[in-house]
């Protein structure tokens, strides 16, 4: 609002002009009535007053339009800027924030909470300024007409303010509760739509509908509680204004009869009192907007003030290539009190291929996520070319790395756009080459639109194996110096696995590769393999050496060969 103070100043100027013109209308009505009563003493004829009232009303319309557009447009700009800041903050936050936040809740903050803030900074701010102007001007003019009548007219108003203030204390909490329930409802709707195939496959439609009904019922009840509380505000305000009008009719009428004020004064006074009705009535709405806006802003501030655990240091270095390799020095990692990695130490030379295997939950995926700092790593644990990864800028570090996660995420766009996501220029030759290296080119040819085929929401049009191969192609497209493959072939059959590994072997060349898998066959091109158990390295060596030792790796190999024979 400070950045848009000029717009607000212009809006306030036109508000003053609007109210000034509106306040002149009752005064000319007074002159017209006095002119009708006492034609000889009148300064203006009733006809002249009527023309002036018509001109004032016309100018009032024009200035009112400018006052509203200036302030309400400023609120739209505020909404736009906060939305931009929110999205920018989300792009800076790391995995820890999103693992503890619900998608529907975040979307609710972008939509409903931002709307409440816009209403507060727009209509709320305009109405608050308008109310102050009208009250100051109207009461001043009413005092000029008759101070005693003014006292009786506004007598009910302080009582109204006290009652409304008491009600407002509970408005904030109930507004916040309503917004939280809306966030839960939005999250459940988003989650149900995303998982609709799973819901149908398990025949859980009725259960999901019942759960959604319960959440919707809680949202309804919270809003009804808020509405009942808000509903108390309007009757209190209406009672105060109604009482003021009755007092003016009774006391003012007696003053006219006794000759203390003229009939024109009474008409003008009634006009000014009528002008107080809408600002007084809207006061309750302003109060509601303020409480809802405050509740919403507190929810938005949660995102805006959140800080990523992984950030660039002030003196971050830039790295453009990998010369000597990657080194882990007694690396540890814990998540929510659970020790995931414990004392991991090894070195991967530049151009070396390292396999990582172990039982489920042994820390394989966590290990490779620490390299691109997708998870926070302590200082002095992970080094690239002798530089602590925490001293390397995130942009240059991640530009060195091609990463294929366990669960391939695809955008609702074409195959071409998904593969070329990391490229500045989506060159067709490059996309075709990496598709072939990932074993995905045959699949592309089967689609009617080829590379321009739309993959649907989260890749719904593709099989699990096709998603994985597309994700591999996307990682290869950026020509990374370090390639991290997190179980990239788990959904691929054995025959296709050999074909993909053969193509990837030509891409590996002098690149540093770390591949995580529970399939021993995935390590055929690896120089070394490390075996993890409960977050620690229990075996390390060349694949053929580990097979002769008869340890965990050899046992995994025997078990997989037996499964293949039984499957055959």
The pLDDT score that the predictor gives to residue 70 is 92
Strand partners, 515: 355, 485
- The label of the residue with tokens 């609120």 reads 75
Task: Determine contact, residues 92/308, Cβ cutoff 8 Å.
Answer: yes
259: left (phi over 0), alpha (psi -120 to 50) or beta: left
Output phi, psi for 305, to 5 deg.
-100, -5
> Is the Cβ–Cβ distance between 4 and 74 less than 8 Å?
yes
Output the pLDDT for position 491.
64
- Residue 383 has phi, psi (to 5 degrees) of -130, 140
Task: Report DSSP letters for 435-455, one per residue.
Answer: HHHTT-HHHHHHSTTGGG-B-
Superfamily name with CATH number, domain 325-567 = P-loop containing nucleotide triphosphate hydrolases (3.40.50.300)
- CA dist list (Å): 198 to 48, 195, 202, 463: 77, 5, 6, 15
Largest CA distance in the chain: 124
Token pair of 265 as six digits: 């004064």
pLDDT for the residue numbered 463: 81
How far apart, in whole angstroms, are the C-alpha atoms of residue 347 and residue 175? 55
DSSP state of 317: B
CA separation for the pair 559, 552 (Å, rounded): 11
pLDDT at site 531: 92
Q: Give the pLDDT confidence of 143-176 residue by residue, as tens digits.
A: 888 888 888 887 777 777 777 767 766 776 787 7
Per-residue confidence (pLDDT) for residue 444, from 0 to 100 = 85
Low-confidence ranges of the chain (pLDDT < 50): none
What are the tens digits of pLDDT across the range 359-368? Answer: 888 889 899 9
pLDDT of residue 328: 93
Cα 332 to chain centroid distance, Å, stands at 33
Tokens matching residue 132: 């102050």
Best CA proximity match to 262, nearest among 52, 20, 27: 27
How far is 340 from 361, CA to CA, in rounded Å? 8
Beta strands (DSSP E) in 411-517 are 482-486, 512-516
Question: Taking the domains of the chain in order of start, what are their residue ranges?
Answer: 5-172+227-304, 325-567
Residue 495: its pLDDT value, please?
65
What CA–CA distance (Å, rounded) separates 152 from 338? 71
Classified by CATH at the fold level, domain 5-172+227-304 comes out as ABC transporter transmembrane region fold (1.20.1560)
Q: How far is 292 from 302, CA to CA, in rounded Å?
A: 16
Rounded Cα distance, 58 and 198, in Å: 63
Residue 42's pLDDT is 65
**If you search the block for the tokens 């195939």, which residue do you land on?**
197
- Sheet arrangement for strand 512-516: 401-404, 482-486, 512-516, 353-358, 528-533, 536-541
Choose among 419, 423, 414, 506: nearest CA to 455.
414
Strand ordering across the sheet containing 382-384: 338-349, 325-335, 382-384, 387-388
pLDDT value of position 448: 83
**pLDDT attached to residue 281:** 67
| pTM, entire model | 0.71
Residue 244: burial class (beta carbons within 10 Å; 0-12, 13-18, 19+): buried
């Amino acid at each position: 609002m400070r950045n848009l103070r000029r717009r607000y100043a212009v809006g306030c100027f036109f508000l003053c002009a609007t109210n000034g013109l509106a306040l002149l209308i009752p005064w000319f009505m007074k002159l017209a009535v006095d002119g009708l009563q006492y034609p000889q003493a009148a300064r203006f004829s009733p006809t002249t007053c009527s023309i002036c009232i018509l001109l004032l009303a016309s100018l009032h319309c024009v200035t009112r339009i400018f006052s509203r557009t200036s302030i309400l447009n400023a609120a739209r700009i505020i909404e736009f800027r906060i939305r931009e800041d929110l999205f920018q903050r989300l792009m800076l936050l790391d995995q820890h924030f999103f693992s503890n936040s619900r998608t529907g809740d975040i979307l609710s903050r972008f939509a409903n909470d931002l709307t409440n803030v816009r209403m507060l900074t727009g209509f709320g701010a305009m109405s608050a300024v308008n109310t102050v102007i009208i009250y100051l001007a109207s009461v001043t003019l009413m005092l000029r007409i008759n101070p005693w009548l003014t006292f009786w007219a506004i007598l009910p108003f302080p009582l109204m303010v006290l009652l409304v203030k008491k009600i407002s204390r509970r408005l904030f909490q109930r507004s916040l509760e309503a917004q939280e329930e809306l966030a839960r409802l939005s999250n459940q709707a988003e989650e149900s739509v995303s998982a609709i195939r799973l819901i149908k496959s398990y025949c859980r439609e009725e259960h999901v509908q019942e759960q959604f009904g319960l959440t919707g019922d809680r949202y309804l009840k919270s809003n009804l509680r808020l509405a009942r509380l808000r509903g108390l505000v309007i009757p209190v305000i209406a009672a105060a204004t109604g009482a003021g009008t009755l007092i003016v009719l009774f006391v003012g009428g007696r003053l006219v009869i006794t000759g203390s004020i003229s009939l024109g004064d009474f008409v003008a006074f009634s006009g000014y009192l009528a002008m107080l009705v809408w600002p007084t009535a809207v006061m309750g709405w302003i109060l509601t907007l303020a409480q809802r806006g405050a509740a919403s802003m507190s929810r938005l501030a949660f995102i805006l003030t959140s800080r990523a655990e992984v950030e660039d240091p002030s003196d971050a270095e830039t790295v453009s290539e990998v010369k000597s390799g990657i080194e882990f020095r007694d690396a540890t990692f814990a998540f929510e009190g659970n020790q995931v990695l414990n004392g991991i130490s090894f070195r991967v030379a530049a151009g070396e291929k390292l396999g990582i295997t172990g039982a489920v939950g042994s820390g394989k995926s966590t290990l490779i996520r620490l390299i691109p700092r997708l998870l926070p790593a302590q200082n002095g644990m992970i080094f690239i070319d002798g530089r602590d990864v925490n001293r390397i800028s995130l942009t240059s570090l991640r530009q060195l790395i091609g990463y294929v996660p366990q669960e391939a995420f695809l955008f609702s766009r074409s195959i071409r756009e998904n593969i070329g996501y990391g490229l500045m220029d989506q060159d067709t030759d490059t996309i075709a080459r990496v598709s072939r290296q990932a074993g995905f080119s045959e699949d592309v040819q089967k689609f009617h639109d080829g590379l321009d085929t739309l993959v649907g929401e989260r890749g719904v049009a593709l099989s699990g194996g096709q998603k994985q191969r597309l994700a591999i192609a996307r990682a290869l497209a950026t020509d990374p110096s370090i390639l991290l493959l997190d179980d990239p072939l788990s959904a691929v059959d054995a025959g296709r696995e050999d074909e993909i590994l053969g193509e990837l072997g030509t891409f590996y060349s002098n690149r540093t590769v770390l591949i995580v898998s529970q399939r021993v066959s995935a390590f055929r091109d690896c120089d070394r393999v490390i075996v993890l158990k409960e977050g620690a390295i229990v075996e390390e060596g060349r694949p053929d050496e580990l097979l002769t030792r008869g340890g965990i790796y050899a046992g995994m190999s025997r078990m997989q060969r037996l499964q293949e024979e039984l499957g055959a």
